[in-house]
Amino acid sequence: MHRVLKWGGFAISFYGWNRIDLFADAWKAAGFRMVGHIVFRKSYSSSSRFFRYEHESAYLLAKGNVTPPAKPIPDVIDMLYSGNKLHPTQKPVAALLPLVDTFCPAGGLVLDPFAGSGSSLVAAQHLGRDWLGMELDAEHAGTATRRLAWHAAKKIAA
């Protein structure tokens, strides 16, 4: 991701809280700087042990000197339950729209090397950004492809 990202660009990476040391080391080794942290508040618990886990987290990563957004968004975003019907870790498009809108300029490209069900790509498509997704699992890649085609057809029909 760092190699293909333009200088002054942003990346957003979700991570597992119990592996933050590995993620942070990998981001730094790649050349990213952590410039922000986002909490996605869920109205449900995805699992329970010592706590009811009712949030997901992501870091805002930067390549080089970045310009802060003109209109910063909150660092806590509500994440409605997607039902995870398309992918086990499916993100709702609504939670990703403000991220794409804020950190990918008009005419920019959203790259998702772990596309899953394609939520980030649908958000990019909805906002008129170019997008490129990669997914190793053929079934999930097919799901994302069908989902993007459906959203494109829906937009054309409107």
What CATH number corresponds to the domain at position 39? 3.40.50.150
The pLDDT of residue 157 = 63
| Buried/exposed 66-105: b ≥16 CB within 10 Å, e otherwise | beeeeeeeeeebebeebeeebbeebbbbebbbbbbbbbbe
Q: How many domains, in total, are found in the chain?
A: 1
Claim: this prediction has a pTM higher than 0.85: yes
- Tens-digit pLDDT profile for residues 87-108: 878 899 999 999 999 999 999 9
> Could you tell me if residue 133 is inside a domain?
yes
**Positive or negative, the Cα torsion across 32, 17, 93, 69?**
negative
Q: Tell me whether residue 118 is exposed, middle or buried, using C-beta atoms within 10 angstroms of its C-beta: 0 to 12, 13 to 18, 19 or more.
A: buried
> Could you tell me if residue 106 is inside a domain?
yes
* DSSP secondary structure code for residue 99 in this structure: H
- Tens-digit pLDDT profile for residues 113-137: 999 999 999 999 999 999 999 999 9
> Could you tell me if residue 139 is inside a domain?
yes
The pLDDT of residue 124 = 97
> Could you tell me if residue 14 is inside a domain?
yes
> Could you tell me if residue 3 is inside a domain?
no
> Could you tell me if residue 19 is inside a domain?
yes
Is a pLDDT exceeding 70 seen at residue 158?
no
What's the CA gap between 150 and 122, in Å, rounded? Answer: 10
60: domain range? 10-157
